[in-house]
Amino acid sequence: MVEQSNIRNFVIIAHIDHGKSTLADRMIEVTKTVEINKIKPQMLDTMDLERERGITIKLQPVRMNFHCGGNDYILNLIDTPGHVDFSYEVSRSLAAVEGAVLVVDATKGIQAQTLANLQHAIDNNLIIIPVINKIDLPNAQIEEVEKEISELLKIDQNQILKVSAKTGQGVTEILEKIISLIPAPKGKREAPFKALIFDSVYDSYRGVIAYVKVFEGRLEIGDKINFFATKKIGETVEVGEFKLKYQATDELVAGEIGYIVTGAKSISEVQVGDTIASQSPEDVSPIEGYKKPQSFVFASFFTVGSDVNHLRTALDKLVLNDSSLNFSPENSEAFGHGFRCGFLGLLHLEIVKERLEREYNLDLVITQPSVEYKVHDEGSKIEYEEPWVNLEIITPSQYLGQVMELIQNKRAVYQDTKYFGDRAVLYYECPLSEIIVQFYDQLKSVSSGYASQNYEMIGWRQGDLAKLDVLVAGDKVDEFGKIVPRTRVDSEAKSLALKLKNLIPKQMFEVSIQIVIGGKIIARENISAMKKDVIAKLYGGDITRKNKLLKKQAAGKKKMKQMGRLQIPDEVFMEILKQ
């Protein structure tokens, strides 16, 4: 059994695409955790989507052995995502470690998610080891980035490590710094067992497997365990460590990171962030975990040409490995039965969509992503509350004017500007609805791709908002309705009416499109009736006969308009959702 003083638990945190997963690969290679001929890129990214996109979606732990200064050490690394949508994965990891390697790309410098994850690490009192990566690239700006990090952390520049994760240059030095700077985990091995669940996965054969950091005591196979949040009592089926794959051991002891096969058959019984202990919840205080993830973005999922139960089964299975996804049944006149799903952001939505289509062969229709509003009916009027976020944007100073102009049109409230090096950090408070669709692309466009953003939920605020309802041929179509700021009611209503006019095919009768708030019409467009030449077969003759036919056609169209309910093609809904 390894001495507790020779254990180091750490994470790697970075902005997306700064080389975090590649650095993890080199650490695995240097420590000989995997045979050299079996090493492949992104060793800790186990999903096909992670490899294809070059991003980390799920946190992944690995245990490495490293000999340094005459001693053998255990290094427990938790590889974390870099994208803002998966920052909840980072927060879970930070609660289980004592240190963090902060990776910054030498060609891009500090980015928004770098700052966000760094602040979370500091809040958790972690030791920070700063690293500049990609120093081998010809466009590396090592001195400038070194200065940025020095100003940010208020440290000497000689404390910053410079490496190339691609070539392996400097990686051994990082491992040595981890041993010398990051403290060993605390906790008494003689005390009753207590651990924090920082992740869990569902195995169809073995049930729920909990990923844990042991804070006190020891756990062996067959030991009784208590779950604080659910009040469930179980028995340990297996314990072990992470060697890229599960490797069973005799026990887990204080200071170690490992897994427990709990025997639970439902993921709801083993909640991430919960405390698991040998004693009953009344006899021991729970470990402080992390913030439970909140869904920020919502969209409805419907299936095309397959049973809705197939979609439900697929969502149920995804939730087993993604506790941040939630869904509830919904019925749409246009698309039938489906589910209203909650996500952490647009990338999270996109990943779930791709997994459903790939892994479960589903053909999906997805509504326009939106935020959730709180509606208060005051009788004489309806009031809305909407979610707001703290928004941080990092941009080179030369693009500051264009970025600020973009944000001013987003109902954002300016808070502060800070500078480090030639970069500016803008701080705003902003409605979430203004930045979840298109804002990221707009930000990249006005900054030539250099600006980055991060946001964090701060609560709900009353907004001067209105609900636009859409009437097509007198019938209300809920799928086209939307909530918008009152200052943009006229422009949004006119734009929506015009889009529908151009998309809905002509009928044999005139079709009205009305955009209304309450009973008041804000915008209107008419789709003219499809004309049929009813007098084409008449050659000459009495004019009264022609007039009779035209009059009969007009009466028929009027009757059709009164009798028929317009059937809007699915393609129209899809085009509106895209726009």
The amino acid at 59: L
Lookup: tokens for 549: 């036919």
Lookup: tokens for 221: 């196979």
Nearest to 262 by CA among 225, 309, 301: 225
The count of other CB atoms within 10 Å of the CB of residue 174 is 21
Does 552 show up as a binding residue in the annotation?
no
Does 18 show up as a binding residue in the annotation?
yes
3-state secondary structure of 89: helix
Does 74 show up as a binding residue in the annotation?
no
> Phi-psi category of 201—alpha, beta or left, where left has phi over 0 and alpha has psi -120 to 50?
beta
- Going from the C-alpha of 567 to that of each of 333, 503, 561, the distances in angstroms are 11, 13, 12
Does 19 show up as a binding residue in the annotation?
yes
Nearest to 393 by CA among 385, 382, 401: 401
- What stretches of 154-202 show up as alpha helix (H) in DSSP? 171-181
Residue owning tokens 């290679």: 29
CA dihedral of 248, 250, 251, 257, whole degrees rounded to 10:
-30
Q: Please report, in angstroms and rounded to a whole number, the separation of the first and last CA atoms in the chain.
A: 60
Cα within 13 Å of Cα(542), Cβ side: 4
Does 133 show up as a binding residue in the annotation?
yes
The amino acid at 162: K
Does 310 show up as a binding residue in the annotation?
no
| Angle 52-58-60 from CA coordinates, rounded to 5° | 105
CA distance 503 to 488: 22
Residue owning tokens 């998610």: 113
Maximum Cα–Cα distance across the chain: 113
Helix (H) or strand (E) holding 144: helix 142-153
Nearest to 129 by CA among 175, 88, 189, 172: 175
Does 134 show up as a binding residue in the annotation?
yes
What is the separation of C-alpha 164 from the centre of its chain, rounded to a whole number of angstroms? Answer: 29
Does 22 show up as a binding residue in the annotation?
yes
Residue owning tokens 């095309």: 304
Give yes or no for a contact between 182 and 8, defined as CB atoms under 8 angstroms apart. Answer: yes
**Binding site feature residues for GTP:** 17-22, 133-136
**Binding site feature residues:** 17-22, 133-136
